[in-house]
Amino acid sequence: AKAGGGNQFQFYVASVDQEIRNRKRLERELHQALVEKQFHLVYQPQINLETHRVIGAEALLRWEHPIHGLIPPDQFIPLAELSGSIVEIGSWVLDEACAQAALWSSEGMPIRIAVNLSAVQLRQDDIVATVLKTLKRHLIPPGRLELEVTETGFMENLDSAVEKLLQLRNEGINIAVDDFGTGYSSLTYLKRLPVQHLKIDKQFIRDLLVNEEDTRIANTIIDLGKSLNLDVIAEGVETEEQEFYLLNRGCQLAQGYFFSKPLKPDDFACFVAAFHHR
């Protein structure tokens, strides 16, 4: 920025300039993180409460920064979405998750992997091709993959999102609506979208049975799932009471710390073995 007089304008220019520099630096760091393999995935078990089986694993991104240590995704994914880096990072996530699924499959654990897909990724023209190529590269049957998309992901350019998700669905890939109920929910898009799962956001599960409104919202999503013939999965289940309530209320699927935190691959495999022998 050009220094010109000690007024507010100068401050404004300086701070915008600073912000651009910060953003550029983060962009470089995120790219560097990919090159230097600072990212890894952890996997959280998704449980069928009725059959007591692990039905899937949600892949969640972790960034081990050489100086700042472990940075949670909430602190860099929104920025990666702004800068566009999420496209490159998201492709890596998809590839890594499919590689893991292939490995687990070869070890006798053919489990479904759920991968978070950013709205920015869904906006890319080649997203369908990217997903299909990745599955092929690792010889993963499409039914073994679930893509978790938020309502925001659908709503920005609904027609084009619907078209892409239909293509993915036609190939046999599963689609879940993530954070359901937190965005600009609209029931009309559910009719148009080829989704199989609704995920109740953890903010409604946290105070389930304590807060009447949250309980009603969770109930409503469960009933909506039933009437639209979609499986509902509750996120953030932390207590036995919550599990019990959900099961009795007709929500068969759940994930949360009560069962397990997101785990490194080896720990995940151990968890599944132990859980199934309980």
Q: Are strands 69-71 and 145-150 parallel, antiparallel or unpaired?
A: unpaired
Helices (H), the chain: 8-35, 77-83, 85-106, 119-123, 127-137, 151-155, 158-170, 187-192, 202-205, 212-228, 240-249, 265-276
Per CB under 5 A, does 151 bind Ca ion?
no
Q: Which is nearer to Ca ion, 29 or 201 (CB)?
A: 201
Candidates 48-56, 68-76, 129-137, 161-169: pick the segment binding ligand C2E (CB under 6 A). Answer: 68-76
Per CB under 5 A, does 116 bind Ca ion?
yes
CA distance linking residue 118 with residue 30, whole number of Å: 16
Per CB under 5 A, does 214 bind Ca ion?
no
Per CB under 5 A, does 179 bind Ca ion?
yes
CA distance linking residue 59 with residue 115, whole number of Å: 5
CA distance linking residue 240 with residue 49, whole number of Å: 11
Residue 46's binding partner among Ca ion, ligand C2E, none (Cβ under 5 to 8 angstroms by kind) is none
* Shortest Cβ 118–ligand C2E spacing (Å): 4
CA distance linking residue 120 with residue 4, whole number of Å: 38
Q: Which two tokens stand for residue 169?
A: 């669905």
Rule CB under 6 A: choose which of 45, 153, 181, 256 binds ligand C2E.
256
* Shortest Cβ 203–Ca ion spacing (Å): 8
Residue 190's binding partner among ligand C2E, Ca ion, none (Cβ under 5 to 8 angstroms by kind) is none
Per CB under 6 A, does 93 bind ligand C2E?
yes
Q: Which two tokens stand for residue 151?
A: 């309502």
Candidates 25-33, 66-74, 156-164, 220-228: pick the segment binding ligand C2E (CB under 6 A). Answer: 66-74
> Are 33 and 65 contacting, i.e. CB atoms less than 8 angstroms apart?
yes
* Shortest Cβ 86–ligand C2E spacing (Å): 6
Q: What are the angstrom distances between the C-alpha of 224 and each of 8, 114, 181, 195, 206?
A: 53, 22, 11, 13, 20
Name the site residues for Ca ion (rule: CB under 5 A): 116, 148, 178-179, 201
Name the site residues for ligand C2E (rule: CB under 6 A): 44, 60-61, 72-74, 77, 90, 93, 116, 118, 178-179, 202, 235-238, 256-257, 262
